[in-house]
Chain A
Amino acid sequence: MGAAVAERAAVMKRAAGTNQPVSRAAVAALALSLAWAPLGAAELLDRVLAVVSGTVITLSDARASLAFGFVGAEPAGDRIAAAVRWLIDRQLVLDEVLRSGGEEVDQARVAREMAAIKGRFASEAAFEAELERLGLGGGRAMAFVRETLEARRYVDRRFGASVEPSEEELRDYYARHLERFVRDGRQLDFVEAADDVRTALQNERREQAVATWLDRLRRRSSVVEIYRAPR
């Protein structure tokens, strides 16, 4: 799900509504009244970043999604924005999962994912310390991971099957993205790259379908973004 973030951002901007950019004067004026300037050594522990159909998304959720690697690498300063977008999409999908009766993910799969996340940390102690810092101790981390997997599984199941592209569509895609089908400095011809072309085209179509679907979910849901990335 995280792979479609960049495309998603463009789609989301076209969706307008709560994502409409606001004039700088408005930002400046309200920033004075709402912005919190750090005084001394005070620091912000947590706050609201967005509300999706009543579910609050907080700064600690964004930190967790970054720490667990669910959100792709972004330029510094945009990481929180990327995490917010990812969490909003995640929540929209989870609401759909609940509406459709739930999505089952077996415990072994969750455990494997947790192990993979743990592997990103230097040690077990560092992992546990991070969980404490994120407020995800006592099984909450596993719940967060399980829900994320449920959302992924739902999207995979719903958008997994795709229509086989035609020969013409494959050739057209290949022609438009030649630079992606280079191996060891050599341009692959269509026949050599056919499998990769098919996979890439199907993935692109799937991502577009998912992005369109998420757009529709966002339109019919109540999505309020409090957080704005600094300009």
Chain B
Amino acid sequence: MRPPPPARAFALAAALAAWTASPSAAQDAGLPVGRTISDVSVVSEGRPVLDAQVLELLALRKGSPLRMEDARATIVRAMGLGRYLDVRVSAEPDGDAVRLSVDLVPLPAQGRLVFEGDLGLSESAIRGAVTERFGPDPPRGRADEVARVVGDLLRDQGYLRATVTPGDARPGETGFGDLVFNVVCGPRALVRSISFRPEAGEEVEQLRLRLSIRPGVVFNRVELRRQLDAATEAWRSRGYLEARIDALVEELSEGRGVAVSIDVHRGRRVSVEFEGDPLPPPQLAELVPIQREASVDEDLLEDSRARIVSYLRGRGYRDARAEFRRVVEDSRLRVVFTVANGPLYRVAGIVTDGASQVPLRELTPLLRLSPGQACIQAVIDGDLAALTAAYRRRGFGEASCKAAIEPVPNARTAHEAPVLVTIRIAEGARTLVGSVGVSGNEAVADADLLAGLSTRPGQPFYAPNTEADRDRILLRYLNLGYRLARVEASVEHDPDTGRASVVFSVREGPQILVGHILVVGNARIGMDTIRRELAVEPGRPLALDAVNESQRRLASLGLFRRVTISEIQQRDDHVRDVVVTVEEAPATTLGYGVGLEAQKVETSEIAPRGFVEIGRRNLFGGNRSINLFGRVSLRRRTAEGAATGGQPVDGGSETAAEYRVAATYREPRLWRSLDFQIIAGAERGRRTSFSFEHQSARFNLSRRLDAAWSVQGQYSLQENRIYHDRIAPADRPLIDRLFPQVRIASVSASAVRNTRDDVFDPGRGTFLGLNGELALRELGSEVGFAKTFLQGFVYRRLPTSRRIVLAGGLRLGLGVGFPREVRLTDEHGEPVIGDDGGPQIVRVSDLPASERFFAGGDTTVRGYRLDHVGRPDTLDSDGTPKGGRAGLILNGEVRVGLWRDLGVVGFIDAGNAFRVVDDVTLRHLRSGAGFGIRYKSPIGPFRLDLGFKLGKLRKFVGTREGRRAVHISIGQAF
């Protein structure tokens, strides 16, 4: 049950329920247990309670016999809602039956912190100090501590005789929930005198100038200490590392004054010097931290010396030495460290001795130490630990590894000392698992518990495996509702046979079932929306995974700030009520902004723009949301369009508005786990050579089948209109592609299987997607076509080197246009007039430009400009891509992590766009290869690729295509 908030706790203490000495209560006599209940009324503050959730909690039912456990269960459940101070069940005779009344006493209003009396400081300052220490709502049980904190605050601020005592709430003046403190601050002390020891001197004068505390000012202990600490720090930053200032405060005149006595010790100026072999400058502060510690005492210097030696020996200078000496010169202290590295110990060879049962080829890859490296003890220790762990995993429970380091004879010089490292392995006896058994289990069969365990007969015995298996068995029970289950593993070793018998002893305890489910904290979200996400059900086992799944589902709705699921234990060990406590997130979000856009095309333009976004969740109490976005820009536009080439005519111009509006409606779980979404939008904009209007709408149903598979169906509609057309003929194909001049309405279906470990930078897994789209006039489309697109990507990390990922991809697109009649237009877009005087009509069955397949660019075939891979029938004579009804892309890449977030790749891509499906063939693929750099930024991998075209270069009108292309982008190529 959720406990009442601390603020209410004291309120509860103050809000007494007087115990009337009714004879029945006092003597506990004559309780009408067993009588039939004729009626049950539920009231709160004298009024009937109509809340269905509360009435549902009654364990007392009309017509049933009265049982005391039902009365108690009703009380416990109602208290679980967190709304009530008390719940009382009373009984009144009704003939031979009994009439029951359930009185729900609500919690009183939130209590306050009240400070009364002579506060001395502002109430906000006192309240701030309490809040900083205890939070906004201090627990009532710590009233004494609160009083002490307030008292300390007052005394620090000069009220040396301040007293603070917790008081009583007073009816009519303070609320019953209030926590009251009576404050008597007393007189505020003034500084009567300040004295320094020594009385004079340069340091004293410096300090006197720094301090703002003078005789006659109000005494503030905190401020005094702050100023003294600042002065000390200032001296230490100038090298006076031994500086120390202490203040002694003597109270005078019954707290009305203080005498402050300050001890000043600046000490000598300290410098640290190094001689002998150099140490790396970035390490000096860490190795000799006298500045940070502000001390030059003997212990610190000795620790520094030891740190220097340890640092050097850790890098292979096994004979390193360091000494220090103090040199006092007048007012200066020089600490001089003398460092001698000695020769660098280098590994000349590594010998492994004692390995007989495990082949060396399995052990050698575990060693990081290799010939030629510096002989670093940490590396050797790591290798020994790796070898030992490898043996233990193979069942050699007593295996140990040691290393001996011997100098190579007659090879030592002043700078280098070659050594031979011998790793001596004591394998010990190998233990295999002889038998595995379970005892104490009744609810779950042995076979079920033993399935999936890593401890199996014949396998090497490895204690951590056994512990993990114990946890697996325990989790199994917890997920079946045996929340009090315990599992212990006992192992018996037989040295004669080298076998270990493992027995998992289970104490199941009772299986806990779910009683009632209470939902608390929801105001706007409907109960059904919450209950629908719960994996726990009344009467079913209270399984741990069901509770976790319920919490996960509720959190993933995005409707709540916080979700907690707790349990109330009834007297019955086997039943627990589940309380789902939610804190709803804000239902409405509002965003807005303004800005300026500046650009220079023909003339300089500055366009003010503004946007607003409104989002609303929890529509109609369910998990539905709607989001509206709108953006408006104002541009000055020339009065004439193409005819004037954009230049103003007669100096005229007008202001035109660009806008974009988008609306999204989302309803998860609309029908049988299908998520529904509508996205609609309209946009009007201006480009350099044309203006456009665009409308679109999408209706989408999707469903996640499991962790990997998801399916989706969609109907989409889009329409564009271009006006103020000044498009150059060469640009028209691209414009047509981006803004198709026909209305397209289609239905599509797709299935995706995604097991990638990371969406942005996968190192493992696969992505498979199949999409089919059909556009028909009957659906509202002006063109008809059918398309299908298949894509597959695979990612594998090399087992021998976790830094290397192999990635491969295949994309295949096929499409066919349904025949339609269109007007023939010339290169200027004007209709061609036929012999009959009317526009010439031709029959085409091509895909609209926006629906065609293209190849080339940073995510398809690198080494080529965007979309510029094609055949003579999918590229214009000048190389402008036209796209085709089919496309095929193949990719292969090796990704190598070099150092931290930096990596390199090598790739080879191949692909092409084909005019018709029948043209698809591997022989006609164009390919590119190259390398690139990757940097894992917080927003995704930055990518720089340099690709080179393989094979013969093509020649277009006027130009020959270049051999290479540079691609810069964010995110992997595929």
Of B20, B68, B169, chain A has the most CB atoms within 10 Å of the CB of: B68
On chain A, the residues within 8 Å of B20 by CB distance are: 35-38, 230
A54 with B1, Cβ < 8 A, contacts A42-B90, A43-B31 known: yes
CB contacts under 8 Å to B, within A10-65, are 15-20, 22-23, 25-27, 29-31, 34-48, 51, 53-56, 58-61, 63
Given A18-B12, A23-B170, A228-B19, verify A48-B176 contact (CB < 8 Å): no
Contact digits for B844-864, partner A, Cβ 8 Å, 1 yes 0 no: 000000000000000000000
Q: Which residue of chain A has its CB nearest to the CB of B143?
A: A16
Residues of A within 8 A of B88 (CB): 36, 44, 46-48
Q: Cβ of B168: which chain A residues have Cβ within 8 Å of it?
A: 20, 22-23, 26
A94 to B882, CA, bound (A): 78
Asked if residues B31 and A133 are in contact (CB atoms below 8 Å), the reply is yes
* B37 shortest CB reach to chain A, Å: 11
> How distant is the Cα of A219 from the Cα of B138 in the complex, in angstroms?
12
Q: Which residues of B contact A224 (CB under 8 A)?
A: 3-4, 8-9, 12-13
How distant is the Cα of A139 from the Cα of B571 in the complex, in angstroms? 10
Given the complex of chains A and B, what is the CA–CA distance between A30 and B3 in angstroms?
Answer: 22
Do B75 and A25 touch across chains, with their CB atoms under 8 A apart? Answer: no
Q: Nearest-CB distance from B823 to chain A (Å)?
A: 77
B10 lies within 8 A of A45 (CB): no
Closest A residue to B92 using CB positions? A42
Check A54–B3 contact: CB distance below 8 A.
yes
Name which residue of chain A comes closest to B68, CB basis.
A135
CA distance A22 to B3 in the complex (A): 22
Taking CB atoms, residues of chain B closer than 8 Å to A68 are none
Pick the contact of B33 from A53, A61, A132, A143 — CB < 8 Å? Answer: A132
Interface pair A15/B90, CB less than 8 Å apart: no
Minimum CB–CB distance from A44 to chain B (whole Å) comes to 5
A19 (CB) vs chain B CBs: closest residue? B13
Residues in B whose Cβ lies below 8 Å from that of A140: 69, 571-572
A134 within 8 A of B: yes
Is B573 in contact with A45, judged by CB distance below 8 angstroms?
Answer: no
Contact B34 A55 (CB under 8 A): no
Chain B residues closer than 8 Å to A42, beta-carbon distance: 90-92, 101
B383 in contact (CB, < 8 A): no
Q: Which of B4, B166, B571 has the most CB of A within 10 A?
A: B571
Across-interface contacts of A135 in B (CB, < 8 A): 67-72, 571
Q: Does A92 belong to the interface (CB within 8 Å)? A: no
Q: Any chain A CB within 8 A of the CB of B435?
A: no
Instruction: Say if the beta carbon of A80 comes within 8 Å of chain B.
Output: yes
Listed stretches B22-30, B361-369, B721-729; interface member: B22-30
Contacts of A31 in B (CB 8 A): 16-18
Contacting pair B4 A48 (CB below 8 A)? no
- State whether B15 touches A56 (Cβ < 8 A): no
Measured between beta carbons, the chain B residues less than 8 angstroms from A30 are 14-16, 18, 171, 176
Does B916 sit at the interface, judged by CB under 8 A? no
Q: Which residues of A contact B86 (CB under 8 A)?
A: 34, 47-48, 226
Q: Are A17 and B140 in contact (CB under 8 A)?
A: yes
Interface flags, B22-52, vs A, CB<8A=1, else 0: 1011101011011000000000000000000
Q: Known: A26-B14, A54-B568. Is A48-B22 also a contact (CB below 8 A)? A: no
Most buried by B among A36, A60, A143: A36
CA distance A19 to B168 in the complex (A): 12
- Closest Cβ of chain B to A191, distance in Å, is 45
A18 touches B9 (CB 8 A): yes
Beyond A16-B144, A42-B101, whether A34 also contacts B18 by CB under 8 A is: yes
Q: Is A218 an interface residue (CB 8 A)?
A: yes
Judge whether B1 and A36 touch: CB under 8 Å. Answer: no
Which residues of chain A have C-beta atoms less than 8 A from B486's C-beta? 102
Contact B13 A18 (CB under 8 A): yes
**B69 closest partner in A (C-beta):** A135
Tell me the bound Cα distance from A222 to B12 in angstroms: 12
> Does A229 reach chain B (CB closer than 8 Å)?
yes
Q: How far is the CB of A36 from chain B (nearest CB, A)?
A: 6
What is the predominant secondary structure among interface residues of chain B facing chain A?
A: mixed
Q: Does A5 contact B (CB under 8 A)?
A: no
Taking the nearest CB of chain A, how far is it from the CB of B484, in angstroms? 7
Interface centre among A40, A226, A230 (most CB of B within 10 A): A226
* Chain B positions 214 through 244: 1 when the CB is less than 8 Å from some CB of chain A, otherwise 0: 0000000000000000000000000000000
* Shortest distance between the CB of A142 and any CB in chain B (Å): 9
> Quick check: is B561 within 8 A (CB to CB) of the other chain?
no
- Distance (whole angstroms) from the CB of B101 to the closest CB of chain A: 7
0/1 string, B119-145, CB within 8 A of A gives 1: 000000000000000000001111110
Q: Check if A87 is an interface residue, CB within 8 A of chain B.
A: no
- Which of B17, B31, B34, B170 contacts A227, CB < 8 Å? B17
Instruction: Give per-residue flags for B550-578: 1 if the beta carbon is below 8 A from chain A beta carbons, else 0.
Output: 00000000000000001011011100000
Name the A residues within 8 Å of B21 (CB-CB). 77, 230
Q: Which of A26, A38, A55, A63 contacts B171 (CB 8 A)?
A: A26
Is the C-beta of B2 less than 8 angstroms from some C-beta in chain A?
A: yes
Q: Which residues of A contact B15 (CB under 8 A)?
A: 30, 34
CB of B15 to closest CB in A, whole Å? 6
B808: CB under 8 A from chain A? no
A138 to chain B: which residues have CB within 8 Å? 572
Residues of A within 8 A of B67 (CB): 132, 135
Cβ-defined contact, B573 with A27, below 8 A: no
CB contacts under 8 Å to A, within B72-127, are 72, 75-76, 79, 85-93, 100-101, 103, 105
**In whole angstroms, how far apart are the Cα atoms of A135 and B101 in the complex?**
18
For residue A15, which residue of chain B has the nearest CB? B141
B16 cross-chain contacts in A, Cβ below 8 A: 22, 26-27, 30-31, 34, 228
A223 in the interface (beta carbon within 8 A): yes
Question: CB distance B169 to A22 under 8 Å?
Answer: yes
Let me know if B105 and A34 touch, CB within 8 A.
Answer: yes
- Distance (Å) between the CB of B30 and the closest chain A CB? 7
When the two chains form their complex, are residues A56 and B1 in contact, meaning their CB atoms are under 8 A apart? Answer: yes
Contact residues in B for A18 (Cβ distance below 8 Å): 9-10, 12-13, 140-141
Q: Is the CB of B28 within 8 A of A45?
A: no
Tell me whether B6 is interfacial, beta carbon within 8 Å. Answer: yes
| Chain A residue contacts of B12, Cβ below 8 A | 18, 224-226
What's the nearest-Cβ distance from chain B to residue A14, in Å?
9
In the complex where A20-B13, A40-B92, A44-B22 touch, is A60 in contact with B71 (Cβ < 8 A)? yes
Candidates A26, A43, A54, A230; contact of B24 at CB < 8 Å: A43
Please determine whether B171 and A17 come into contact, CB atoms closer than 8 angstroms.
no
CB <8 Å contact, B2 and A54: yes
Contact of A54 among B33, B142, B484, B566 (CB under 8 A): B566
Contact A58 B75, beta carbon cutoff 8 Å: yes
- Tell me the nearest residue of chain A to B171, going by C-beta: A29
Known contacts A20-B143, A77-B26; 18 further A-B pairs (Cβ under 8 A): A16-B143, A17-B140, A18-B12, A22-B13, A25-B170, A34-B17, A36-B20, A42-B92, A43-B30, A45-B91, A46-B75, A56-B79, A77-B21, A102-B484, A102-B486, A139-B572, A140-B571, A224-B4
Chain A to chain B: the 8 pairs with minimum beta-carbon distance, closest first: A135-B68, A17-B141, A31-B18, A43-B24, A135-B69, A42-B92, A18-B13, A47-B88
> What is B's interface to A at a CB cutoff of 8 Å?
1-4, 6, 8-10, 12-22, 24-26, 28, 30-31, 33-34, 67-72, 75-76, 79, 85-93, 100-101, 103, 105, 139-144, 166, 168-171, 176, 484, 486, 566, 568-569, 571-573
Q: List 24 A-B contacts (CB under 8 A).
A: A15-B141, A17-B139, A18-B12, A22-B16, A25-B170, A25-B171, A30-B15, A35-B17, A35-B20, A36-B103, A42-B91, A43-B22, A43-B92, A44-B22, A45-B100, A48-B87, A58-B75, A139-B572, A139-B573, A140-B572, A143-B571, A224-B3, A225-B13, A228-B19
